[in-house]
Amino acid sequence: MKEFDYIILGGGCAGLSLAYELDLHKKLENKTLAIIEPRDEYKKDKTWSFWKVLDHNFDDCVKKSWKNFSINSATETKHLKCDNYPYQSIDSELFYKKTVAKLKENKNISFFKDIKDINQNNSFIFNSVPSQESNKSNLWQHFCGVEIKTKDKIFDDEIINLMDFNCEQRDNVHFFYTLPFKKDRALVETTWLSKMNDNSLKDYDNQIKNYIEQNLKIKNYEIVYKEEGAIPLFHPLNEKEKNKINIGTAGGMTRLSTGYTFLNIQEHSKYIRMNIENIQNSKKYEIKKKYQILDKVFLRVLENHPEKMPDIFSNMFNTTSDTVIKFLSNRSNFLEDISIISKMPKWLFIKSLFG
């Protein structure tokens, strides 16, 4: 069986981002790489969105960028600007097309469906397949989104609605998210933060229909695309092994308070590329410890006081939007952290810090 210098397990967002980064920077001219991906064909399955706080390799896959966003709590709507860090949405179909086409041009890169098809004994492995643990006390961000085409041009496509809490909370945290790509096209998503042990929260189709018809007041529309998923708000416990690095969700690249993962994956890919010649001995790449600690406390508050979360999220934006964006994108300095923390209900967070 064939041997390779490197193996990437899982040709999804993290696997393809890493392979693309290595290929782009000519790190695979004298090295061989096998990508193991079981899916038969790549189809659009996700819309990756984030505030653009750093350059990445996929500007040409951006479906739309916005410089304005809003947040609705039960009592108020905040309109905010993000000129310095536009909110971007990447179409996974464009991402898969671009990366797979480029990688297939390199004769040192091969695709396989199953790890059993190759000899992995002497390879360095980048693994993006999360371990399958099921712990009922873990929180998830689970959601379903539909892209709709409306008969009339009714959306303001200059502004996204990041969170709309004007919906049933059912003792959990629930909001809607609307990304208008055009005046007659938008992704409308129902998002829950819960332990995923209550199946009654998953009547997504009903929730979306009611929201579109009653809150957005749209009657004439068709659904042109649907996506559904769940992001773990905990880091999968993939075992540490010599000659193996976990990447993507499996590698702890999700920011646990928000579910944002895409840009962290890009930063991790860059880090691996810069250290590839001595990857066995490089320091483990992690989201900064201060965010890990703050997110843990934040999720404890969320778990114990879900009813307080709409106001907590909304109050966070009482500071400048640049500060919040930098905080949520792991780029805030000490003063910016303090500014965010000062907007939180202090006793609740102090109590949650200790138990």
Ligand X SMILES: Cc1cc2nc3c(=O)[nH]c(=O)nc-3n(C[C@H](O)[C@H](O)[C@H](O)COP(=O)(O)OP(=O)(O)OC[C@H]3O[C@@H](n4cnc5c(N)ncnc54)[C@H](O)[C@@H]3O)c2cc1C
* 295 lies in the site for ligand X, by CB under 6 A: no
Tell me whether residue 232 or residue 310 sits nearer to ligand X (CB atom): 232
Looking from the CA of 115 toward its CB, the CA atoms found within 13 Å total: 13
Shortest distance, CB of residue 275 to ligand X, whole angstroms? 19
* 66 lies in the site for ligand X, by CB under 6 A: no
From candidates 22, 27, 46, 87, binder to ligand X by CB under 6 A:
46
**Residue type present at position 185:** R
From candidates 260, 291, 298, 327, binder to ligand X by CB under 6 A:
260
With tokens 């959601």, the residue in question is 143
Residues 98-137, one symbol each (x = binds ligand X by CB under 6 A, - = not), give ------------------------------xx--------
Tell me whether residue 9 or residue 340 sits nearer to ligand X (CB atom): 9
Shortest distance, CB of residue 347 to ligand X, whole angstroms? 32
* 15 lies in the site for ligand X, by CB under 6 A: yes
From candidates 9, 53, 148, 162, binder to ligand X by CB under 6 A:
9
Tell me whether residue 56 or residue 185 sits nearer to ligand X (CB atom): 56
The angle formed by the CA atoms of residues 295, 287 and 278, to the nearest 5 degrees, is 160
Judge contact between 16 and 96, C-beta under 8 A.
yes
Task: Please identify, among the stretches 6-14, 95-103, 190-198, 276-284, the one whose residues bind ligand X according to the rule CB under 6 A.
Answer: 6-14
From candidates 5, 93, 184, 227, binder to ligand X by CB under 6 A:
227
Question: What counts of helices (H) and strands (E) characterise the chain?
Answer: 9, 15
Residue nearest to ligand X (CB): 12
The angle formed by the CA atoms of residues 92, 95 and 96, to the nearest 5 degrees, is 85
Shortest distance, CB of residue 46 to ligand X, whole angstroms? 4
Comparing CA positions, the residue from 338, 337, 313 lying closest to residue 327 is: 337
* 10 lies in the site for ligand X, by CB under 6 A: yes
Calpha distance 155→159 (Å, rounded): 9
Query: In Å, how far from its chain's centre is CA 29?
Result: 31
**Alpha helices per DSSP H over 199-318:** 204-210, 262-275, 289-304, 309-316
Residue 278 CB coordination number (10 Å): 7
From candidates 2, 24, 38, 117, binder to ligand X by CB under 6 A:
38
Shortest distance, CB of residue 355 to ligand X, whole angstroms? 30
* Whole-angstrom Cα Rg for the chain: 21
Calpha distance 66→59 (Å, rounded): 14
Task: Please identify, among the stretches 204-212, 224-232, 290-298, 317-325, the one whose residues bind ligand X according to the rule CB under 6 A.
Answer: 224-232
Tell me whether residue 233 or residue 250 sits nearer to ligand X (CB atom): 250
Judge contact between 123 and 6, C-beta under 8 A.
yes
* 181 lies in the site for ligand X, by CB under 6 A: no
Count of residues in the chain? 355
Contact positions vs ligand X (CB under 6 A)? 9-15, 36-39, 46-50, 128-129, 227, 229, 231, 248-250, 260-262, 265
